[in-house]
Every structure is written in structure tokens, then in C-alpha cells.
Amino acid sequence: MPLLDPDETRYSEISDAMVDTGDYVTPRLNHVVYLEKPPLAYWATAAMFKIFGEHEFSARLFSGLCAWGCILLAFSMGSFLHDEKTGLYSAGVLSTFLYIFILGHINLLDIPLAFFVCLATWAGYRYIIGGRTLKGWLYLLYTASALAFLTKGLIGVVFPFAILILWLLIAKKGRDIIRLFSPVGLIILIAIVSPWLILVHRVNQEFLWFFFVHEHFLRYTTKIHERYHSVLYYLPVVILGVLPWAAFLIQSIRAARANGDKTYLSRIDKHFLITWIVFIFAFFSVSSSKLIPYIAPIFLPIAVIFGHLFKQYDDQAWQPTRKMTDRVLHHLPVILQSMLFIAVLLLPLFIENHTEFGGDLVIIHAHDWIWLILLPIIFQILMIFLPEMMRRRFGTGWFLTTYFLSALFLVSLIYPVSAFLEPYKSAYHLTQVIKAHLPANEKLYQYKIFLYGIESYTDIRTPVVENFGEMRFGMNQLSPDEKSRYFLSEQEFLRLCREKGGPVYCVTANKENFDELNKAFPRLHVIWSNGIYYFIRLVD
């Protein structure tokens, strides 16, 4: 799948700029200073570009490796808290959570952040329960917290220490809080973090205010990013994120209760894991800025709890009674979940024409879509009966069967998801048309949109009209001449088009923007459009 706009192409472009300019201190986006996030993930992706070349695989590799780090960490946690089989089940569950599977395949900062935050939190836990002799765990807490800070800022330090302190207070171990604070650990953290902070502030005098006040305090406490979401925003995110295991969780809890086991979480430190989950959920729920990827650190402790419950269920000999109602109730969650997946897969057949994107776009033809979703549907049907059939016939294999069907289902989704998203989440096809039809030495303007993917795939710097967004801070650092050439108001752009005399080439999106240009330039020519994106030649 091509890089998706805006997130994947944004982070890819920043890393590409580092490789091209040799400046690894100040991140740049569209040739302007971009100080919203620290540079660790950019550095890692830039290194991947130098090793493997610049393409989708290398752009996504660091995020994928960090997802694998989370999976291995889940194995370590489950093994330590209970046994190695629980660790294996926890790792298997995490690797097939819908949320982790999706985010682990795309170039975002949230999976790297989740890995370092979770590693730091786990290291602090191991140090506290292991006695004063395990200093290595304490130093790992500070090291991983520093790397989390360099990935996405202050929350990388706040999260591990806040979770650990709350857990100690809940567990009535308040005296151990002081043990978390280490002079050597602080030296390690400062030694890792401070070089970049000092260097970037030296060349960007407004950095400290913008980074710490605007991008941390104001982002969390105000609505400056205009993301108005309910306090319950993350509840469906978590429920959908743990699919396809949610239905099997209901089965395993029901079996444990029917078997008389009311302490099915007593053999792991549920206070620590639940504190971890509740803190992350509550922190982001009350924030004024909410996005789906933010809550990634919550899924690792959830996977460990799931792994523990599934291991117990797999080891039990319990079966539903012969009563039809009991058997139906036991299998109903899985049936409903599979039917939900199948209904979602069939939905594009009924929304072929996306009127909200202009009315002309055909997402995919029905005949092609049926073939793309055939395998996912087969795996969902098998999910309904095959795991329990293995359990009844062989007394084992329930988890392994469920895991492989889940993995195969998720892998089989890659092609249909790619086919569905590409038309309106990637600029790749647009850029191929631009390469073929934009005359040499002609500028390409972006009218009321900004697709980072255009520069990612064409290396063309495009002036922007009325869509400055997150580039506004860097834009204001430019010289007046450069600012006037590459960041234009609508009136400035219209005046430029009329003064130029010859044709002006631009791209835009959405029918509303197209209609504005069509009204201003009745003789415009549409070179290419897919109903969402428009590549246009303007003639006065």
C-alpha cells in the first residue's frame, strides 16, 4: 500500500529532509521548521532510508520493529507474571489485536512511543518487586523513559512514573516510591535527552515555548487543535481494538465462572496491570485533544490479562452443557463478532458511489471486491466453529486454532483495505499523473489542501494556498520573500494566476474547492480526477 496522507507521508518527508540536508537537529516539513515532535523516530527512519533506500518498506520499518518489541515485551511480562505459556498466549493475542496489527504496519510515532513507555513501566515494576539489588531495571526505566521522551515528548517520562506511583499507592507500598528516584538514573535521562534540547534551542529560539507550552500544556488542556470528542471517545476504540479476541474473552470468562473459578485473575498482579490500563485510558479521555493512535500503550497490559485468561480456558476441560440455550449463549459472542466482520466487509458493495467525496468516485467494482473479501469471509466463518471443534475432539488446540485463524484473517485484509483506502488516503496515483503531465519548470500549487505525499513521490516543492495548519509556526520563521512565494492567501493566488498570463497548474480536493476554482476560472481544464483529488490547469 502506498504511504497514506497525511501522517505517513508527513513523517517520511521529515526523515527524507534530514537525509537530504544533513541537518538532524531541526526537523523540517515542506522545507519549514517543524518542532511539534522530538526526532528519535525521524532519525531511525532516516537511518532506514540510508540503509535500504527511500520507499514504503523502509519508511514503515522502525514502527514495525517497535511493534515486534511490544510483542516480545508481552511475552516477557506474561512469562514473569505467571508462566511461559501465558507469555506466549499474551504475545499471540497482542500480535493479532486489530489495533496493533494496523498501527504496526504504518509509519506513525505511537507504536514506538508505546514500546518505550511500556518497557520503562515494566522495568520500574521489575525493580520494585525484585529488591534493591536489581539496579539494571532501575536504569532501564530511566533509559526507556528518555527514549520515549525523544519519541513524542513529556508523556514518555510522565506515563511510566505516574503508573508506577499510582500502583504503589493502591498496593499500599507508598514507602517504595522514593526508590524510583535515582541520581544515576536522572544523569542517564539527562545525558540522553539534553543534547538535542540544547542544540535545537540554540538554532530555534522559540523552541522551548512552542514545544513545551503549545504542544504539551495547551494541546492537552485546550481545543487549539479543534478535536472535539466525547470523554467516552476511547471506549469503542479499545473494544474494536481488541478484536477479534473480544468474543473469545467473553467465552473464557463465562467458562471460568461456570467452573466455579471466581479468582481467575488472582495469579497475576492485576492491581499493577489494571492501574496501567485505567491511568492511560483516563489520561487521554479527559484530554482536549484526542486521536485514535494516542491510546496505544493501553493494549499491552490488556494483552497480558487476555493471555492469562485464555491460557486458563485452554487448560480447562469445561464444556457447555447439552442444553441448547447454554450452548447458544456460549457460542453467540463469536457468531455475532464474525457476522459483524462479514457485514463490514460487504458494506462497500452498497456504498460504491461516495457522494460525500464528490459523487464521481467508484471505490471498487463489485466483482473485484467480492474476490478480495472472499478469503477474510472464509476465515471468519471458520472462526465460528473450528476452535471449539478442536477443543471438543482433541481437548487442546483451541488457542492455537483461534490464533492462526485471526492471523490469517488480518493478513487477508491487507489487499482489500489497500484497494479501499488508496483512492482517498494516498496521493500516489495523483503523483504519477503529475509526473506524466506537469510541464518542466512549471510550479504546482496546492489549493486549500496540502498532501505531503506529492513531495514524497515527486520531490516537487509545492506552494500552498490557504492551508497552512501545522506548518504555520515554521512558515512564520521564513524570510518574507520565501514566505510570499510558498504560502499564499486565496486572494494572492488568484491575483498571481491572472498576472501570469499563461496556465497555472494546481491540485485540490473535494468538490467545494473545485467549484470555487471553476467559478473563478471558467476555462479551467481538468487533467485528471478520481472524484476526490483534482489535477487542474487554470487559464484566465
SS3 labels along 264-324: CCCCCCHHHHHHHHHHHHHHHHCCCCCCHHHHHHHHHHHHHHHHHHHHHHHHCCCCCCCCH
Q: Using pLDDT thresholds of 50, 70 and 90, give the confidence band for residue 312.
A: confident
Q: What is the pLDDT of residue 16?
A: 96
Count the helix, strand and coil residues of the chain and give each as a percent rounded to the nearest 5: 70, 5, 25
Confidence at residue 226, expressed as pLDDT on a 0 to 100 scale: 54
HEC-encoded secondary structure of 469-485: HHHHHHHCCCCHHHHHH
- Express each pLDDT in 434-466 by its tens digit: 999 999 889 999 999 999 999 999 999 999 999
Q: Which residue has the higher pLDDT, 519 or 253?
A: 519
Tell whether the model's pLDDT for residue 421 goes beyond 60.
yes
- For position 56, what pLDDT does the model report? 95
Q: What percent of the chain has pLDDT over 70?
A: 91
pLDDT digits (tens, 9 = 90+) for 379-395: 999 999 999 888 888 87
Among residues 114, 79, 75, the alpha carbon closest in space to that of 94 is found at: 75
Here the cell at position 154 is: 513529556
More confident site: 287 or 185: 185
Choose from 254-263, 278-287, 352-361 the range with maximum mean pLDDT.
278-287
The alpha-carbon radius of gyration of the chain (Å, integer) is 26
How many whole angstroms separate alpha carbon 17 and alpha carbon 23?
8
Listed range (85-89, 107-111, 205-209) with the worst mean pLDDT = 205-209
Average pLDDT, the chain: 89
Beta bridge partners of 33: 28
Mean of the pLDDT values across residues 226-230? 63
**Cα–Cα distance, 229 to 251 (Å, whole number):** 32
pLDDT (tens digit per residue) in 403-415: 999 999 999 999 9
Q: Which of 151-155, 365-369, 481-485 has the lowest mean pLDDT?
A: 365-369
Q: What is the mean pLDDT of residues 198-203?
A: 94
- Give the pLDDT score at 256: 76
pLDDT in tens, 69-101: 999 999 999 999 999 999 999 999 999 999 999
Residue 317 has what pLDDT?
67
Q: What confidence score (pLDDT) does residue 406 get?
A: 97
Q: Which residues pair with 526 in a beta bridge?
A: 536
Tell me the DSSP string of 185-244: HHHHHHHHHHHHHHHHHHH-TTHHIIIIIIIIIIHHHS-TT-----TTTHHHHHHHHTTT
pLDDT (mean) for 252-272:
70
Q: Rounded to whole angstroms, what are the CA distances from 219 to 36, 193, 209, 284, 340? A: 11, 22, 13, 12, 35
The answer, yes or no, to whether residue 190 has pLDDT greater than 60, is yes
Q: Indicate if the pLDDT at residue 216 is higher than 80.
A: no
pTM for this entry: 0.92
Quick one: pLDDT at residue 320? 65
For residue 394, the model assigns a pLDDT of 83
487 has which bridge partners? 464
Residue 236's pLDDT band (cuts 50, 70, 90): very high
Other C-beta atoms within 10 Å of 509: how many?
24
Task: Label residue 359 by pLDDT band (50, 70, 90).
Answer: very low
pLDDT of residue 266: 57
Per-residue pLDDT at 530 exceeds 80: yes
Could you tell me which residue, 321 or 477, shows the higher pLDDT? 477
Average pLDDT over residues 188-192: 97
Please say if the pLDDT value at position 212 is more than 90: no
Confidence band for 260, pLDDT divided at 50, 70 and 90: low
Which residue stretches of 319-365 are H helix? 324-346
Provide the pLDDT for residue 393: 85
Whether residue 153 contacts residue 196, with contact meaning beta carbons closer than 8 Å, is answered with no
Amino acid at 275: T
The pLDDT of residue 265: 58
Q: In the prediction, which pLDDT does 540 show? A: 76
User: Lowest-pLDDT range, 19-23, 229-233, 445-449?
Assistant: 229-233
- What's the maximum distance between 2 C-alpha atoms anywhere in the chain? 83
List residues bridging with 465 in a β-sheet: 447, 488
b/e string for 458-468 if b means 16 or more Cβ within 10 A? beeebbbbbbb
What is the mean pLDDT of the segment spanning 268-284? 90
Is 110 in contact with 296 (CB distance < 8 Å)? Answer: yes
Average of per-residue pLDDT across 30-51: 95
